[in-house]
């Protein structure tokens, strides 16, 4: 069966989010000064062939650990449907 | 009041997702050949001061149109909570 996987990858709390700071600065420059704590993350969506949902989740977790996320500074969350 | 806003930004369908293709290739090289249609998107999370939820949504929509999303090739979805 083909399943839809979604992986959310965010910098861990405490890791400086320079991209977020840049967005915050740019928004401030345009007059939106009420914005704070901007964090920028990634989402990957893909189709995956697997025997069942739990097998797919195991596969996606392995992909995150090996390639998709830098687990030193990033945390990830998996959704398989 | 301070609200949490979340903005999901994805390339529109039909726009070649080169980052997604690169991830797909890299996963294939590691043996995950059952993965297809990889799309990579961005998520921005931030705190926003606004009088109410609907005012915040209007603000965030304006931010997307002006700065956060390239509406020629990207679509966005807003969540305010």
| Contact (CB<8Å) A43/B48 | no
Distance from CA of A67 to the nearest CA of B (A): 8
Distance from CA of B31 to the nearest CA of A (A): 10
Q: What is the pTM of this model?
A: 0.88
Name which CATH class applies to B2-80. alpha beta
> Could you tell me if B44 lies within 8 Å of chain A, comparing CB atoms?
yes
- pLDDT tens-digit profile of B3-62? 999 999 999 999 999 999 999 999 999 999 999 999 999 999 999 999 999 999 999 999
Cα distances (angstroms) measured from residue A47 to each of A4, A67, A81, B10, B38? 5, 17, 10, 16, 7
Nearest residue on chain B to A62, alpha-carbon basis: B32
Residue extents of the structural domains in chain A:
2-80
């Amino acid at each position: 069966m083909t399943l839809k996987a979604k992986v959310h990858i965010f910098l861990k709390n405490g890791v400086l989010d320079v991209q977020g700071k840049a967005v915050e600065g740019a928004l401030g420059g345009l007059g939106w000064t009420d914005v704070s704590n901007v964090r920028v993350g990634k989402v990957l969506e893909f189709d995956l062939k697997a025997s069942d949902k739990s097998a797919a989740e195991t596969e996606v977790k392995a992909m995150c650990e090996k390639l998709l996320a830098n687990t030193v500074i990033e945390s990830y969350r998996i959704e398989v449907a």
